[in-house]
Structure 1
Amino acid sequence: MKFAALFIAFACTVPISLLLRSTPGFPRLFWTVFGILPFMAASMPLFDVGLISWAGEWIGFVYGLELSLVDILAVAALLSFGPGRIPLWCKLPLLIYIGAAALSMLQAYEPLAASFGVWQFARMFLIMVVVARACLEPKTAIYIMQGMALGMAAHLVAVLHQRFGLGLSQAHGLFIHQNTLGMAAHMVLFPHLALLLYGYRGTRWQLLTVMATLLVVIFTASRASVGFSALGIMLLYAILALAGMTQRKMLFALSGAVALAIIAPVAISSFDKRFDEAPLTEDQYDERAAFNRAASFIVDDHPLGVGTNHYVHVAKNYGYSERAGVAPSEVNRNNIVHNAYWLAMAETGYPGIVAFCLMLIVPMITALRTGWRERHNAEGNLLIGCGVALLIAYIHSMYEWVIFGKEVQYLLFTTMGMIFGISLRMNALRDAALPVRNIAMPYRRQAGTAAAQGKLAGEGTW
């Protein structure tokens, strides 16, 4: 059944690509659905198909060689593109990390299980490149963001039902765990908030998205999600205020103070309910610290890593969890270290953690650098919002591993793709406005068609 569904899905890629090329209104629908789907990953039947599946047999951040609906749509979009390419500097950091993960298979106890992780990052490379190519065209990023907003709206409905209908102290929405939902919220909250503060048209849906996302974050009752969301809001506001204070931004500051007075009791109530049901015991047993110790012991013994997707197998079966003082219950021993950086280092070694950090830093720096330069237009503000989203997700990842989960990775690498695509387009428009003939690269021809016809930078944008 699953392979029949996969065959049908691949058969649909050609007609979908033809529709993307020839039907004017279809790209908006396509990219909106593309933005929604990652939010449905855990709840949609046949969202993904395991070509090889070790579910129930292997414990890691991925259980098999998978293909999902998002991957199929990415292939369809790739077939629809004309001539052009994304420059190597955008792709190289992720390729280097994929190479480091592939090399870690040489140290893996189960090379096939390690290949599951390499395959997942290869799929994310496809997602990032396809989204970057698509965002060379104006409006594509907005369509994807509208899809993300709709996905978050679906989670809000689920969260409200779980909190008030089922009485859950920590709502997880349509995902399996509240930490996944909290991390995913960063990719929605900050880009939409940046456009809202800028005054981009469509204020109503931006405002509703920001409010819905904040409610979702609060009802997760996750300390890290709530705390880092608040930090990100203050940081984003400070950056955009430095870019130029406006009446809208001053009104936001006043409205934010009022909203805080209203939301604070709701947040306090959520945390009270959580801690009443599950009191904190970190003064007696700090689980995160124990996991970190186990990962550090693994790194000491295996400086080149133990193989991607192998942390639990090695920590549990080779005495590292016991040495680190991880609680002996099966649930604890089967858990992944709650720090993405320790996870990357334990599994892919010192070369892997360097490549991992490079992969994360390049798109963030690109977003903040280009966004600040273009801070007086909507694209620049969106880039700053995306850059802050990545920064907060990276800080949050010091306390969670879920940045390795496919649900979060789809949103993470989609955000990276939007950053590269918008930045390349803005660079092409900017270069075309200068009296220098240096726009011969294929991606610049595609991104800056209007500019190449003699228009100034800023025309033909949003």
Structure 2
Amino acid sequence: MRFIALAVIIFSVPVFMVLLQQNAKYRRYLYFAVGFLPFVISAWNLDAAIISWATWPGQTKGVIITLLDALALAIVIRSRRSPLSFPFTALFIAYIGAAALSIIFSTTPQASFFYAWQLGTVLLVFWAVANVAMTKDGPKMIIAGLVCGITLQAGFSISQKFSGVVQASGTMGHQNLLGVATHFALYPSLAMLMATKKAKLPMLGVVAGLIVVAFGASRATIGLAGIGVMLVIFLSMVRKPTARKTKVAAIGLVILAIATPVAISSLQQRFAITSTEGSNEERQAFERAAKMIWADHPMGIGANRYVVVANTEGYSERAGVIWNRGSRSAPVHNSYLLAAAETGFIGLICFVLLIFVPIVAAFRFAWANRKDPKGDMAVGIGVTLVIFAMHSFYEWVMLTWVIQYMLAIAIGMLAGFITYRKAEKRAAIIAKRRAQSEDSDEAVPALAKQV
């Protein structure tokens, strides 16, 4: 079955290329799929392993390709633009290089290679999204895919909640993973809702996102979602205040007020079962272990190897991580420390730059293009990355392929916007020079007649 799945995914590349070539209707569907697929790849088994280490305790289980990889490859091949021309490409390549460098310091180099491979597929998705974002309807279709993906998860979360599940995880396996994924649909949807009169789809994204946040009962997700919603509303109003935005802001605050008691109720149900104090102590123990690993291995222990090293070399025991399967099989709940422990200070720097450089670029683009609807979407993307950066202090899932696909989609859309705007400016300059040249050519004969 594994080889059949591999064959299907590989041969889907030329099929996608044909569909992309045929007509705009098919292209719109495929652009929609780019945003939708990350939510369902695992649940619908839309991936296949060239090499599989199913029991490996790291975040990457082998050399895996997905249907989204195939679609992204088809989009990149079909595009006439060099993928290296997009902004932020160097940041992705640098992080891949840091992961590849960590293979040298790994006693299980193949496991570390798995993570470098994963980052390569993430770069491919980034390039594909950047190309799509330069088309007329591409950004809207990607957002539509994200909205439908989070709406599907909201449906499963509602079903799980009414079935007695304390922390709903949708189809993504864990509530924290779903909570982080929610950021990438919620804030762009809210930004679009405030900027456009076509409100049905973005409204659906906002409502579904808040349902997932409330029913997931994750402290960090709930707190950061509230901050993110307020930040989008505030920045959108400051950037370009309108009567519509004021109305939407008021409605949004009402929805947030309604969702807050539901979220509090979910948290109360959770803490009736688990202790907040115990959870905090466990996180601190994880961080002590990660810091000890990083201190002993400043160049890293090799990507995708934290759990193995923390247990076999005694770091978890010395740090006080409790002895049970859940704790000893999980990485440190801090993506920055995890990146530092596995890929060293070089990997940490690259990881931080990959997040924070696009944040600055997003807000610069938004304020430089106040009359462009893409500027509103850039606000949503910028807030998404800010909340992602904050959430990374409390979660390790930022190093999993699902969330990194989401990150590639967000940064890829921003890269497409920036590249498209630069192309527009160059075209305007060329047109102006041609007009000036034509005026000069016409002026010469007129002057000759006067003489």
Q: CA deviation at 1:375?
A: 2.3
The answer as to whether partners of 1:366 and 1:420 remain within 8 angstroms in 2 is no
Paired residues of 1:18 and 1:80 also in contact (CA < 8 A): no
Distance 1:35 1:88 in 2: 20
Amino acid at match of 2:146: M
- What pairs with 1:234-383 in structure 2 (closer than 5 Å)? 234-282=230-278, 286-383=281-378
Greater shift, 8-17 or 397-406, is seen at 8-17
**CA-CA distance at 1:89 after TM superposition:** 4.3
- Are 1:87 and 2:85 counterparts? yes
User: Residues 332 and 437 (structure 1 numbering): CA distance in 2 closer, same or farther, change over 3 Å?
Assistant: farther
CA contact (8 A) 2:20 2:27 kept: yes
Structure label with greater radius of gyration = 2
Matched residue of 1:336: which SS?
A: coil
| Preserved CA contact (<8 Å) 2:193 2:248 | no
Distance 1:360 1:263, change over 3 A: closer
User: Gaps (5+ residues) in structure 2?
Assistant: 435-451
Question: Quick check: 2:194–2:249 contact (8 Å CA) kept in 1?
Answer: no
For 2:433 and 2:215, locate their aligned partners in 1 and report how far apart those are by CA, in whole Å.
Answer: 51
- What residue is the counterpart of 1:460 in the other structure? none
Letter in 1 for 2:95: Y
Q: Matches of residues 193-272 of structure 1 in structure 2 within 5 Å? A: 193-198=190-195, 200-272=196-268
What is the CA–CA distance in structure 2 between the aligned matches of 1:213 and 1:65, rounded to whole Å? 31
Query: How far 1:8 sits from its partner (Å)?
Result: 2.8
| CA distance in 2 between partners of 1:418 and 1:90 (Å) | 11
Q: Mark the CA change 1:34 to 1:256 in structure 2 (over 3 Å): closer, same or farther.
A: closer
1:188 CA drift (Å): 0.3
Amino acid at match of 1:130: A
Kindly report the root-mean-square deviation, in angstroms, between the aligned alpha carbons of the 2 structures: 1.8
How do 1:88-167 and structure 2 match up within 5 A? 89-164=87-162, 166-167=163-164
Cα distance in 1, alignment partners of residues 252 and 90 from structure 2? 40
Within-5 A mapping of 1:175-190 = 175-190=172-187
Superposed displacement of residue 4, structure 1: 2.1
Q: Counterpart amino acid of 2:164?
A: G
User: Greater share of helix residues, 1 or 2?
Assistant: 2
What corresponds to 1:442 in structure 2? none
- In the alignment, residue 68 of structure 1 is paired with which amino acid? T
What code does the residue aligned with 2:173 have?
I
1:174 matched residue in structure 2:
171
How many Å apart are 1:281 and its aligned residue? 2.8
> For this pair of structures, how many residues does the alignment match?
434
Aligned equivalent of 1:59: 57
Distance 2:180 2:375 in 1: 23
List per-residue Cα deviations over 1:240-265 (Å, max 9, x = no partner): 11112221222233323433442232
Q: CA deviation at 1:152?
A: 0.9
Give the match for residue 36 of structure 1. 36
Distance in 2, Cα, partners of 1:437 & 1:310: 57
Give the conservation status (yes or no) of the 8 Å contact 1:36–1:147: yes
Superposition deviation, residue 328 in structure 1 = 1.7
What is the CA deviation profile of residues 426-458 of structure 1, one whole-angstrom value per residue up to 9, with x for unaligned ones? Answer: 22223433478899xxxxxxxxxxxxxxxxxxx
Aligned partners of 2:431 and 2:166: how far apart in 1? 60
Are 1:408 and 2:403 an aligned pair? yes
Give secondary structure in 2 for the equivalent of 1:281.
helix
**CA 1:135–1:261: 2 relative to 1, 3 Å:** closer
Alignment correspondent of 1:453: none
In structure 1, stretches of 5+ residues that fail to align are 440-462
User: Would you say the 8 A contact 2:86–2:130 is kept in 1?
Assistant: no
Secondary structure, aligned partner of 1:12: helix
Q: 1:365 to 1:196 in 2, by over 3 A?
A: same
Structure 1 stretch 174-183 or stretch 364-373: which is displaced more? 364-373
Q: Which residue matches 2:439?
A: none
- Is 1:394 aligned to 2:398, yes or no? no
Q: Which amino acid aligns with 1:346?
A: A
Q: C-alpha offsets along residues 47-78 of structure 1, whole Å, 9 cap, x if unaligned?
A: 1111111111x211111111111111112222
Q: 1:137 to 1:278 in 2, by over 3 A?
A: same
Are the counterparts in 2 of residues 127 and 410 from structure 1 also a CA contact under 8 Å? yes
Cα deviation per residue 1:399-452 (whole Å; 9 max; x = unaligned)?
00111111111111111111101111122223433478899xxxxxxxxxxxxx
Counterpart of 2:63 in 1: which secondary structure?
strand
- Counterpart of 1:224, as a letter, is A
d(CA) in 1 for partners of 2:86 and 2:191?
29
Deviation at 1:218, TM superposition (A): 0.7
Secondary structure at the counterpart of residue 169 of structure 1: coil
Give the match for residue 74 of structure 2. Answer: 76
Contact 1:86 1:133 in 2 (8 A): no
Question: CA–CA distance in 2 between the matches of 1:386 and 1:413?
Answer: 11
